[in-house]
């Protein structure tokens, strides 16, 4: 009888130890209420992983983590990346995720960007690669040759969209996906439309970038594009205000005064004929298509309407344009005067 009680006691002890071990491995022991991600840098080792987990208080001790890691041979198989650690996750599932290298996807959302520096900042904010490495890549003529662009036209490969990667994707692969999407974007139909305008896809993109900066009104974009297309055909300077802002790298400018028009830059279309060397922003797909579908007009001029609706008045001769421009200037002066009186 006594032997049976001892045996039962030992059995319960073993059972409790087993339950305790199972709880530490399969129970909800991971603490991460702030939903912090675990980042493992390229070249990071096992100790780096443990340090990061402890620093972020995701695990309180390393005993069970070490046991699990050794069991699945994780210390020799650390994989860089961004990992989603959920509050209440088990150590088993955490180790399974890390061992397999199953990262959380990272989206690169491209909307309106103006410069290579803007793109570098957007990429470095979402990926392991730093902005200086991105800039170096985007400024390397030899590297860019494989993508059929140079340091001026490199942004023409950036079609606004959402691109999915892993956090530790190198810049070469990040840009390659952008390039591949650009190649898919330029369908035979779009290329045919560009040829009808006697423009290359890169030139269409560059023209669209100017139109993008000129207006937010979608139904005006085609007409604005027609103005610039007509000017190109006649050998006239585009005289586009947004190109001056880009040349000066002063995007806060609200008005382009006459003194700014002499700013020396190949991007200043008041000084130079033809399109600028490259785009001045990443135009939306709708804007690119608006350029490709630009109507045939005889317009050579446009100016903002005096009602401040955001739309423009178009003219085929300078005299009519001056009438529209004068009306807008008077309305603007009146508005400024009114605001000053109300201060």
pLDDT digits (tens, 9 = 90+) for 81-138: 999 999 888 888 988 999 999 999 999 999 999 999 999 999 999 999 999 999 999 9
Is residue 55 one of the residues assigned to a domain?
yes
Q: What is the pLDDT of residues 237-272, one digit of tens each?
A: 999 999 999 999 988 888 887 898 999 999 999 999
177 and 200 both lie in a single domain: no
253 and 295 both lie in a single domain: yes
Is residue 338 one of the residues assigned to a domain?
no
List, in sequence order, the alpha helices (H) in 160-306: 171-185, 188-196, 201-214, 218-234, 241-248, 285-292
For residue 5, name the pLDDT band (cuts at 50, 70, 90): low
List the domain range (segments joined by +) for residue 267: 188-299
pLDDT of residue 8: 58
193 and 282 both lie in a single domain: yes
Domain boundary at 185, 215, 237, which?
A: 185
Share of the chain above pLDDT 90, in %: 74
Q: Say whether 72 sits in a helix, a strand or coil.
A: coil
195 and 179 both lie in a single domain: no
Is residue 272 one of the residues assigned to a domain?
yes
Mean pLDDT, the chain, as a whole number?
91
* Of 217 and 260, more confident: 217
The answer to whether the CB of 290 falls within 8 A of the CB of 211 is yes
Is residue 46 one of the residues assigned to a domain?
yes
277 and 205 both lie in a single domain: yes
217 and 179 both lie in a single domain: no
83 and 145 both lie in a single domain: no
Is residue 169 one of the residues assigned to a domain?
yes
List, in sequence order, the alpha helices (H) in the chain: 2-26, 46-55, 63-71, 91-100, 116-126, 131-138, 141-144, 171-185, 188-196, 201-214, 218-234, 241-248, 285-292, 318-341
Share of the chain above pLDDT 70, in %: 92
- The pTM (predicted TM-score) of the whole model is 0.89
84 and 120 both lie in a single domain: no
93 and 27 both lie in a single domain: yes
pLDDT of residue 118: 97
pLDDT of residue 30: 77
For residue 340, name the pLDDT band (cuts at 50, 70, 90): confident
Is residue 340 one of the residues assigned to a domain?
no
144 and 71 both lie in a single domain: no
Number of domains composing the chain: 3
pLDDT of residue 14: 67
91 and 42 both lie in a single domain: yes
Is residue 4 one of the residues assigned to a domain?
no
pLDDT of residue 168: 96
Overall average pLDDT of the 263-288 stretch: 97
Is residue 327 one of the residues assigned to a domain?
no
């Amino acid at each position: 009888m006594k032997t049976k009680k001892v045996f039962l006691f030992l059995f319960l002890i073993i059972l409790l130890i087993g339950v305790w071990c199972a709880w530490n491995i399969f129970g909800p022991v991971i603490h991460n209420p702030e939903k912090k991600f675990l980042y493992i840098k390229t070249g990071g080792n096992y100790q780096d992983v443990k340090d990061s987990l402890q620093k972020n208080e995701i695990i309180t001790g390393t005993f069970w983590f070490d046991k699990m890691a050794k069991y699945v041979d994780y210390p020799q198989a650390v994989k860089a990346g961004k990992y989603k650690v959920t509050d209440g996750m088990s150590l088993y599932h955490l180790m399974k995720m890390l061992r397999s290298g199953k990262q959380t996807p990272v989206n690169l959302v491209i909307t309106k960007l103006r410069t290579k520096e803007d793109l570098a900042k957007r990429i470095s904010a979402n990926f392991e690669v730093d902005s200086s490495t991105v800039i170096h890549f985007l400024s390397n003529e030899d590297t860019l040759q494989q993508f059929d662009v140079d340091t001026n036209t490199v942004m023409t490969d950036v079609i606004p969209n959402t691109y999915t990667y892993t956090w530790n994707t190198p810049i070469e692969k990040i840009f390659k996906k952008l390039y591949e999407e650009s190649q898919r974007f330029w369908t035979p139909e779009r290329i045919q439309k560009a040829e009808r305008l006697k423009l290359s896809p890169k030139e269409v993109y560059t023209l669209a970038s100017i139109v993008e900066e000129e207006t937010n009104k979608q139904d005006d974009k085609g007409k604005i594009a027609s103005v610039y297309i007509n000017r190109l055909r006649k050998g006239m300077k585009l005289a586009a205000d947004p190109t001056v802002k880009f040349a000066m790298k002063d995007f806060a400018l609200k008005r382009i005064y006459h003194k700014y028009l002499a700013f020396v830059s190949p991007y200043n279309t008041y000084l130079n004929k033809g399109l600028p060397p490259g785009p001045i922003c990443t135009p939306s797909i709708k804007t690119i298509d608006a350029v490709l579908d630009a109507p045939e007009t005889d317009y050579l001029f446009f100016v903002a309407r005096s009602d401040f609706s955001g739309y423009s008045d178009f003219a085929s001769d300078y005299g009519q344009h001056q009438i529209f421009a004068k009306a807008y200037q008077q309305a603007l002066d009146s508005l400024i005067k009114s605001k000053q009186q109300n201060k």
